[in-house]
Amino acid sequence: MSKPLRIGIAGLGTVGAGVVKILAARGEHLAAASGRVLELVAVSARDKSKDRGIDLTGVRWDDDPLALAAADDIDIVVELIGGSEGVARDLVEAALKAGKHVATANKALIAHHGTALARLAEEKGVALNYEAAVAGGIPIVKTMREALAGNEIRSIHGILNGTCNYILTEMETTGRDFADVLKDAQDLGYAEADPTFDVGGIDAAHKLAILASLAFGTQVDFANVHIEGIEKISATDIAFAKEFGFKVKLLAIAEKGEAGIVQRVHPALVPEGTPLAAVSGVYNAVAIDGDRVGHLVLEGRGAGEGPTASAVLSDIVDVARGLIVPPFIVPAAKLKAPAKPLMDEHKSSFYLRLRAVDRAGSMAEITRALAEASISIERIVQRGGKSDESGRMPVVFITHETDEGTMARARTLLAKHEDVAGTPLVIRIEDGELR
Ligand SMILES: NC(=O)c1ccc[n+]([C@@H]2O[C@H](COP(=O)([O-])OP(=O)(O)OC[C@H]3O[C@@H](n4cnc5c(N)ncnc54)[C@H](OP(=O)(O)O)[C@@H]3O)[C@@H](O)[C@H]2O)c1
């Protein structure tokens, strides 16, 4: 058997403690599978006295995580602190510069600095592995790096944030509204005290930017992800969607268009009966369309101690086996600069919900305004023909295919229309690709 692989772990929270537990519970199997003993040499976190439910006997404690990068007795630094800047970034850079392998679950770091870090890792001939950063326990990075090499990827559609999917599923099954369900999700530990990253779509966008780079051989381009969250989705929208045969999901989509690569995260109407519509609760899923393999869907737990630590272990085992590959499949110097996305040219049909003033002729006025804005309507539904307490009627239009720019202009016009109260809500309908 070769020399042990000496591991230093920074961050002993949910994921870090999970990794320590797997190393302890499956040490013998992991050694047999890798041909090397996986030896936990040192750890670092903020509070040494905290009870983490793990046995650290014989493991060195370093108060400063950066000491792991400098230590002579560590081969791989496992960064499980989090955050795109600060100590996590300093540690990963220092470890790579010192010629150590790195495994991380940090999607924010890879989404913001992935290309530069990959360059650094390649210069030093070490691994930068981040399986756990995208969709937790789903082995999507490995699938993209290894199993799909023979394919040109056409598109990726993902449900990449378990918190959002849980909230939308609960809203659907209970008929309750967003704020109410979010509070429950926070009480249950499915949502953070500050839920902005999750419900605002940023967490999904981090993961999407990484996937898009793997899929299309482009530099990681988080800055150009179009991001909308689920905060404006109401129980009414979910009920209307159901009536039309759709579920509402927060989708993360990367696709190759004529103009370039479009990366977008937003709520979408997904046809019932399709694999992504069936993904419920905290589950994640990624649907890939490859030119040879066709449609492929991977589903699993996107977060939590076990699934995330499981993914980190696969990264460590790869290093132990000597499998060191460019972090984004092709060498960083060969990653293409991403073309500016032309979201305005993206086309789809839309769900448009507004509150109309309840007076004779208002519907005719609104429909005329839409026609003048070049929006062609497939369907109109007025819920029961009844107005709410403020004398407004919820009305939903399903449009024929149109482009984003046209839809945005129509929405602005409607927001100013005297027969419309407030700004209409628009949700894209994702149909063709998903069937
Ligand atoms: N949780 C998940 O389900 C999940 C899923 C996928 C990816 N991830 C990613 O995995 C990473 C870790 O997440 P987590 O949920 O395990 O976080 P967590 O539970 O908050 O744990 C963070 C750990 O980092 C330590 N830490 C924070 N600041 C530090 C500093 N300045 N110096 C040294 N240690 C520091 C903390 O120390 P103390 O314990 O002493 O406070 C804690 O042990 C993040 O990048 C996250 O995005 C998490």
Where do the DSSP E strands lie in 311-391? 347-357, 377-382
Q: Does domain 140-302+332-343 have CATH number 3.20.20.70?
A: no
Give the Å distance between the CA of 81 and the centre of ligand 1. Answer: 4
Look up residue 362 and give its two tokens: 């208002």
pLDDT of residue 386: 53
Specify whether the CB–CB gap between 274 and 434 falls below 8 A.
yes
Q: Is the pLDDT of residue 18 over 90?
A: yes
Q: To the nearest whole percent, how much of the chain has pLDDT over 90?
A: 84
pLDDT of residue 384: 55
CA distance 391 to 155: 44
Strand pairing partners for 255? 155, 262
Look up residue 348 and give its two tokens: 């789809």
Q: Span 394-419, mean pLDDT?
A: 93
Domain range 5-133, CATH architecture: 3-Layer(aba) Sandwich (3.40)
Q: Which helix (H) or strand (E) holds 422?
A: strand 420-429
Give the Å distance between the CA of 206 and the centre of ligand 1. Answer: 17
Q: Is the pLDDT of residue 21 over 90?
A: yes
Best probe residue, ligand 1, of 9, 14, 66 (max atoms within 8 Å of C-beta): 14
Give the Å distance between the CA of 422 and the centre of ligand 1. Answer: 41
Instruction: State the pLDDT confidence band at 388, using cuts at 50, 70 and 90.
Output: low
pLDDT digits (tens, 9 = 90+) for 172-202: 999 999 999 999 989 888 888 789 999 999 9
Look up residue 302 and give its two tokens: 């996107």
Query: DSSP label at 207?
Result: H
pLDDT digits (tens, 9 = 90+) for 26-53: 999 999 999 999 999 999 999 999 999 9
Give residue ranges with CB within 6 A of ligand 1. Answer: 11-16, 44-47, 50, 65, 80-82, 87, 105-107, 132, 136, 303-304, 308
CA distance 388 to 364: 19
3-state secondary structure of 195: coil
Look up residue 252 and give its two tokens: 């993360």
CA distance 327 to 118: 6
Instruction: State the pLDDT confidence band at 269, using cuts at 50, 70 and 90.
Output: very high
- Cα dihedral 320/325/328/333 (nearest 10): 140
Q: Which atom of ligand 1 is nearest to the CA of 12?
A: 43
Q: What are phi and psi of 95, to 5 degrees?
A: -65, -45
Nearest CA to ligand 1 atom 20: 13
* Same fold across 5-133 and 346-434: no
Superfamily the domain 346-434 falls into: ACT domain (3.30.70.260)
Active-site amino acid positions: 207
Instruction: State the pLDDT confidence band at 435, using cuts at 50, 70 and 90.
Output: low
CA distance 222 to 207: 9
pLDDT of residue 359: 82
Domain boundaries, the chain: 5-133, 140-302+332-343, 346-434
Give the Å distance between the CA of 358 and the centre of ligand 1. Answer: 52
pLDDT digits (tens, 9 = 90+) for 226-253: 999 999 999 999 999 999 999 999 999 9
* CA 338-344-348 angle, 5° bins: 110
Q: State the pairing for strand pair 420-429/261-271.
A: parallel
